[in-house]
Amino acid sequence: MAIVKKLLHTRMRVDDLERTVSFYKTILGLEEVERDQSPRGSKLVFLRTPGSEELLEITSFPASGPVKVQPDLMHLAFEVASLDEFEKHIAKHGVSLSDGPHTTNQGARIAFIDAPEGYEIELIEQPKE
């Protein structure tokens, strides 16, 4: 028997809540599903990727100081239909790939972009069957 049932959400703290939420909505097409405030005063925005149940929780809590994301601390990975089309889309918004594209040993193509505060996002184009 599994101890946990499923992943519900991942939380990331940011300095500029609105800028970050706008980035995830505009660049990645995530949908905002809820806004809330925690009992300690953190502002929370929950986003969902089309086709996924898990949520991304973006939070702002200025009392804890500025966010400092270390290189290679963590990343989120999203599947895209076409890296070439994704790259054209982000270029229209002044965003560029920070690494890649590269082809994996399994035939997938991967690339990376940086989100506000320096969180890394991996984009994966699955191999064509």
34-61 confidence digits (pLDDT tens): 999 999 999 999 999 988 999 999 999 9
Please say whether the structural domain 73-129 has been given the CATH code 3.20.20.80.
no
On the question of pLDDT at 23 being above 90, the answer is: yes
Q: How far apart are CA 111 and CA 75, in angstroms?
A: 12
Q: Which two tokens stand for residue 61?
A: 């809590």
Predicted TM-score of the model (pTM): 0.90
Distance CA 28, CA 34 (A): 17
In the prediction, which pLDDT does 4 show? 87
CB 109 within 8 A of CB 97: no
pLDDT attached to residue 6: 86
- As a whole number of angstroms, the distance between CA 41 and CA 63 comes to 9
For residue 26, pLDDT over 90 is answered with yes
pLDDT at residue 72 in the model? 83
d(CA 11, CA 103): 29
Specify the fold of 8-61.
2,3-Dihydroxybiphenyl 1,2-Dioxygenase; domain 1 (3.10.180)
